[in-house]
Amino acid sequence: FSRGKTNKDKANRATVENVLDPRTMRFLQALMNRGIISDFNGCISTGKEANVYHAFAGNKQLMNNNSQEQHTKEKLPSEDTANLLLADDGATDNDKEDENEPPKLVGQRDEYAIKIYKTSILVFKDRERYVDGEFRFRKSRSQHNPRKMIKIWAEKEFRNLKRIYQAGVIPVPKPIEVKNNVLVMQFLNRGDGSASPRLRDYPYKDRDEIYHFYYNMIADIRLLYQVCQLVHADLSEYNTLVHKGRLFFIDVSQSVQPEHPMSLDFLRMDIKNVNFYFEKMGIDIFSERLIFQFVISETLPNFEGDMNNLSDLMDYIKRNLIVKKTAEDEAEDEIFRSLYLVRNLTGLEERDFDRFTEGKFDLLKSLLAHDNEKNIPHAEDFDDVSDSSDEESSDSEDDDDEE
């Protein structure tokens, strides 16, 4: 059977180079024929897993705009709009949560970013860990079929975008529609027709602006976690766009809910990436451990001020975090990075048995038993973290069963 497998791999590889496979082409052509989009030409980005294209909304949108007006501004497109977009290939099994919501209509032609996932199994293989253990996608037993797998990814990105967009606390491109491997969202325009820059490419005016975006980023990570109930899980200066003075998170297909067994590892990784970038930019940063605890603490406040106002942000951030300075701080972060984090139903549990045996128990204990006791059990409480639905019970647990 190895030959069969090879042929299949070749076929899959072929679609990597040719992201616009015939089916995708037909779908896009149908969108143009119906006037949903027009001028589908500019490629904004070619990536490993997806390409992103620019398109203007087509005539259909103008007609809609003339016939219907005055809809609330935070709503997503209605089923009508979805059907217009998707009539081509039959019904989708997207969630239809807001099927009764009216479309958001504007007086001008919108611009869309069309993200087209490549239909190759190869590059998606390592992504299964994000879906495994993801409760919202438990039912999707199609992980062996690459086309279905990609459909799941596109839908996952769409859902996550929608979740963030509807929560209304963090800016993201407005999700428009999804079908198979194609995701349509609002195009973030820099103002001159080109795409808004990634944070990585943003020409900072001054040092204050670097601080501003660092604090903005930290406040947003917390809002994403606390309000949207998501961990980005691929956060970096590459997946953040600067648009109208604000950070916009993009590329959220792999984002997970806090209940995901790996969510805290992803969060820690996000914080590390962000810190690494801003440290490189030459500003004072906070320790990864402190940011982490700040993000997950249920007792600390969310930012409610004006995100465009640096002194608002600064007050907020400085009240909750202290600058990382000493070598000791760095040593702590190093240990923090190596901790084995486990999320159980009652909170965060940290175990790192190697560290225990290396005699670093006390340091570990002081790291973990910091503040917000609600969230983080003290290290000495490990054996007491018992939850009826938690399968991983400790051996040394002293049973006080009441029968």
Binding characters for Mg ion, 185-224, by CB under 5 A (x = yes): ----------------------------------------
Give the CA count within 13 Å in the CB-facing half-sphere of 151: 16
Handedness of CA 299, 300, 303, 305 (dihedral sign): positive
Measured at the CA of 171, the angle between CA 165 and CA 172, to 5 degrees, comes to 60
Place of tokens 């003075």: 245
Stretch that binds ligand ADP, among 45-53, 260-268, 345-353, 374-382 (CB under 6 A): 45-53
Give the span between the Cα atoms of 104 and 53, in whole angstroms.
22
Both tokens of 107, joined, read: 């007086």
6 membership: H or E segment, kind and range? helix 2-17
Question: Residue 290 CB: number of other CB atoms within 10 A?
Answer: 23
Out of 52, 182, 368, 376, name the contact with ligand ADP by CB under 6 A: 52
Among 251, 270, 329, 333, which one carries the catalytic annotation? 251
SS3 content of the chain, % helix, strand, coil (to 5): 45, 15, 45
Out of 15, 180, 226, 239, name the contact with Mg ion by CB under 5 A: 239
Q: Scan residues 339-358 and list those touching Mg ion (CB under 5 A).
A: none
Q: Is 19 a binder of ligand ADP (CB under 6 A)?
A: no
Measured from the CB atom, the residue of 71 and 198 that comes closer to ligand ADP is: 198
Out of 49, 251, 332, 350, name the contact with Mg ion by CB under 5 A: 251
- Catalytic annotation on 371? no
Stretch that binds ligand ADP, among 29-37, 49-57, 254-262, 289-297 (CB under 6 A): 49-57
- Catalytic annotation on 251? yes
Measured at the CA of 171, the angle between CA 169 and CA 174, to 5 degrees, comes to 115
Out of 173, 226, 260, 320, name the contact with ligand ADP by CB under 6 A: 173
Give the span between the Cα atoms of 283 and 275, in whole angstroms.
10
Stretch that binds ligand ADP, among 22-30, 145-153, 195-203, 343-351 (CB under 6 A): 195-203
* Cβ(368)–Cβ(341) below 8 Å: no
Out of 27, 31, 49, 260, name the contact with ligand ADP by CB under 6 A: 49
Catalytic residues: 234, 251
Enumerate binding residues for ligand ADP (CB under 6 A): 44-45, 47, 49-50, 52, 113, 115, 173, 185-188, 195-196, 198, 238-239, 250-251
